[in-house]
Structures are given as C-alpha cells and as structure tokens.
C-alpha cells in the first residue's frame, strides 16, 4: 500500500500546480475536491495492512468523513455559492497563472528541502507527506493572497486546510483524529460563513472583488465609477 500512497501524493502535488494555474472557478473547485478525496483516502493507504491487519472503525470513519466533507460537501457548497453570487466564472489573478505555477514549484523545492532538514523519518507514516503538505499550505496561502475574488480566497483556505490535514495524516496516523475533527469543523463553518458572506456582499455591491471592498471606508476618495456599488444607510 506504500506505493499507492505515494502515487496518490504525486497526484496531490500535480493538483497543487493545477490549482495555481486554474483559470476557472469551476476547475479550481474540482481540483480542491480531488485533493479532499485524496486526504480522505490517504489514512487507509498509509495504514500498514501487513503488520496491523484491517484498520479499525476509527480510521475508516475519519477517512469516510474527510472524503465526504472535503470531497463532496464543500465543493458542492462552493459551486452553490458561485452560482448564487452570479460572479464571473473566471479566476481573477493578481499574480499571473504562469508566475503562480512557478511560485508553487519554488515552494515545492523549499518544501522538499525543509522536509529533509526536519529529520523526523522514524516516527512518520510517509516521508513524502511532509514536503507535499508544505507545498499545499503554500499554495493555499498563494491563492488567498494573489487572487481577487472572495470565493477564490475560500478555495485558498480549503487548500491550506488540506495541507494541514495532510501533515496530520502523514505524521500522526492514529492520534491526530481529535485535532483533525476540530480543524474540519472550523473550516466547514468558515466555508459556510464565507459562502453566505460572498453571496450577501455580491447582492449588496454587485461585485465580490476584494480590491473594491478596500474602498468602503473612505467614501470621498472613491472612484466615480465605483459609486453605484456604495450603499448609504
């Protein structure tokens, strides 16, 4: 099963690169869903079947729940938010897609370098999980900071969370479950709230561009063509 887990982790890395270069919200959501599925099934792949026999109900449970919440529920919620908010379907990048991909590549270089420096090979389930999770966290942060739309930032948070739970799955196969549950709840609430918030923002201001939200404070300095976005209450 070791081989399977590594193939799956390679797919995870490619999903990171694809996310950085995804130009449509739909495809970005699809890649997040793929990552969610992988995070879900990874504990089963990492389980040492020959030594420990069939994994217990706890592992199956966490795996199923992760896959369902991150691979199905959240992507559905996100696409619902995209549909409801009627935003344009394109991702609006501040840093170009090519540059973002290259940055993710550099992050992978950094991730593998730090993963080697950490020297925790004895205790962990898979030594590849650590660099891949570093890269994924970096990709999440990049998506949060280098994309304009509010929805893309939710996607970035999800990717960041995928990275964190990958780290958890890679290091603490058995005891990370409580922590994992906490994070899952947090992120679920976050996606829920941000999804609704994006929808509400959009209904009020006809745009979820976060650049424009910055102008909300100083009413008099606003550009004339932004005026119709503004509400007086």
Partner 1 sequence: MNILSIILAAVLSPFFIGVVNQTKAFFAGRKGPGFFRLYFTIGKLLRKSRMLPENSTWIFDIAQSASLASVAVAVIIFPWTGGGGVSSFVPVAFFFYLLAAGRFLTVLGALDAGNAFEGMGSSREVQFSAFAEIVVFIVLGFLVFLSADTSLSGVLSGIRVEDWKDNVIPLVLVFLAFVAVFLSENCRVPFDDPETHLELTMIHEAMLLDVGGPDLAFALYGAALKFELLAAFLVMMVMPCFGSGWVHAAALFAGVGLISVAVGVIESVMARMRFLKSPQSLMGAALIAALAVLVFICF
Please, which residue, 7 or 193, has the CB nearer to partner 1?
7
We find the least distance from the C-beta atom of residue 88 to partner 1, in angstroms, to be 17
Please, which residue, 91 or 154, has the CB nearer to partner 1?
91
For residues 43 and 169, is the Cβ–Cβ distance under 8 A? yes
We find the least distance from the C-beta atom of residue 18 to partner 1, in angstroms, to be 8
We find the least distance from the C-beta atom of residue 210 to partner 1, in angstroms, to be 25
We find the least distance from the C-beta atom of residue 14 to partner 1, in angstroms, to be 6
Residues that bind partner 1 (CB under 8 A): 2-3, 6-7, 9-11, 13-14, 17-18, 21, 97-98, 101-102, 105, 108-109, 112-113, 115-116, 127-128, 131
Please, which residue, 85 or 108, has the CB nearer to partner 1?
108
Please, which residue, 1 or 181, has the CB nearer to partner 1?
1
Q: What is the dihedral of CA 23, 88, 154, 42, to 10 degrees?
A: -50
Quick one: tokens of 43?
């504990």
We find the least distance from the C-beta atom of residue 20 to partner 1, in angstroms, to be 9
Please, which residue, 130 or 184, has the CB nearer to partner 1?
130
């Amino acid at each position: 099963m070791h081989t399977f887990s590594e193939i799956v982790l390679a797919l995870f890395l490619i999903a990171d690169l694809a996310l950085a270069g995804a130009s449509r919200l739909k495809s970005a959501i699809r890649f997040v869903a793929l990552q969610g599925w992988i995070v879900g099934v990874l504990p089963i792949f990492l389980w040492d079947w020959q030594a420990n026999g069939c994994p217990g109900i706890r592992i199956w449970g966490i795996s199923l729940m992760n896959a369902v919440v991150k691979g199905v529920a959240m992507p559905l919620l996100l696409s619902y938010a995209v549909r409801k908010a009627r935003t344009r379907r394109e991702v609006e990048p501040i840093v170009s897609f090519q540059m973002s991909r290259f940055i993710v590549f550099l992050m992978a270089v950094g991730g593998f370098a730090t993963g080697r420096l950490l020297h925790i090979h004895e205790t962990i389930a898979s030594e590849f999980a650590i660099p891949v999770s570093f890269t994924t966290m970096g990709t999440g942060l990049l998506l949060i900071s280098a994309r304009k739309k509010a929805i893309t930032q939710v996607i970035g948070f999800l990717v960041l969370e995928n990275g964190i739970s990958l780290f958890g799955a890679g290091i603490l196969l058995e005891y990370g479950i409580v922590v994992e549950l906490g994070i899952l709840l947090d992120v679920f609430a976050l996606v829920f709230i941000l999804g609704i918030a994006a929808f509400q923002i959009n209904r009020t201001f006809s745009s979820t561009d976060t650049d424009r939200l910055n102008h909300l404070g100083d009413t008099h300095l606003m550009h004339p063509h932004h005026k119709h976005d503004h509400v007086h209450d």
